[in-house]
Amino acid sequence: RKKKGKGKEVDDNENLDDKKSFKNQLATLDIFAGCGGLSEGLERSGVSQTKWAIEYEEPAGEAFNLNHPEASVFVNNCNVILSAIMSACGDEDDCMSTPEASDQAKKLDENEINKLPRPGQVDFINGGPPCQGFSGMNRFNKSAWSKVQCEMILAFLSFADYFRPKYFLLENVRNFVSFNKGQTFRLAIASLLEMGYQVRFGILDAGAFGVSQSRKRAFIWAASPEETLPDWPEPMHVFAGSELKISLGSGTQYAAVRSTATGA
């Protein structure tokens, strides 16, 4: 199918060519999947094939389904999905979900339950838990709803604990590292280490990798002991460092420069 743009037609098959084909692609579960941007990037890298996705918002879930028609998309609360999976696997007694989540899990139809991933099938779990509670741009990040969203980190870690995938990737806003005096961040790191994972964390700027803006995000990589913990990709671009500026009372401002016209 061809789509018309500004005087140009783009064949959908051209996009498929960008997704490298490797024999040993990781069977991936995307949680808090949104419309599928993270899955798209990982699939284009050639290492990942998203087979399952969980997204709470129905419009975003529908968009994910259009962008990744080969994946099974579950539009529901991730706690409900995990409760349903554990119940289907006979581990209901080990599930610590709320009574509300357990009740909703029991209402899922059999066809949807049959499509749920099982332990041993998932190689890679990735996702970006809701960030409103961590974002410095949110003036109401102490609200009850923001705190509920922060708790989604625990639900995300619960998937890692139950599935024990080969790899685990968490993406969030930069303030995730310092929010609540770093307690949530340290809990995430400590939990993964307790599970036996190798862990690496870092702050990456999207602009250093080709995006036309500075957008910093926190990432936590985890790999099982049998696997190689991936390094961060090498930056392709650099940003000029901040410069010293001195403002005088008269409104005059002096700024440091790296060099003059004569090269001094």
pLDDT digits (tens, 9 = 90+) for 207-240: 999 888 888 999 999 999 999 999 999 999 887 6
Question: Which residues participate in catalysis according to the annotation?
Answer: 131
In the predicted structure, residue 39 carries a pLDDT above the cut 50:
yes
Query: Mapped to the 3 state alphabet, what secondary structure does the chain carry?
Result: CEEECCCCEEEHHHHHHCCCCCCCCEEEEEECCCCCHHHHHHHHHCCEEEEEEEECCHHHHHHHHHHCCCCEEEECCHHHHHHHHHHHCCCHHHCCCCHHHHHHHHCCCHHHHHHCCCCCCCCEEEECCCCCCCCCCCCCCCCHHHHHHHCHHHHHHHHHHHHCCCEEEEEEEHHHCCHHHHHHHHHHHHHHHHCCCEEEEEEEEHHHHCCCCCCEEEEEEEECCCCCCCCCCCCCCCCCCCCCEEECCCCCEEECCCCCCCCC
Q: What is the pLDDT of residues 114-160, one digit of tens each?
A: 999 999 999 999 999 985 544 444 444 454 544 544 578 899 999 99
Domains within the chain, CATH numbers bracketed: 26-232 (3.40.50.150)
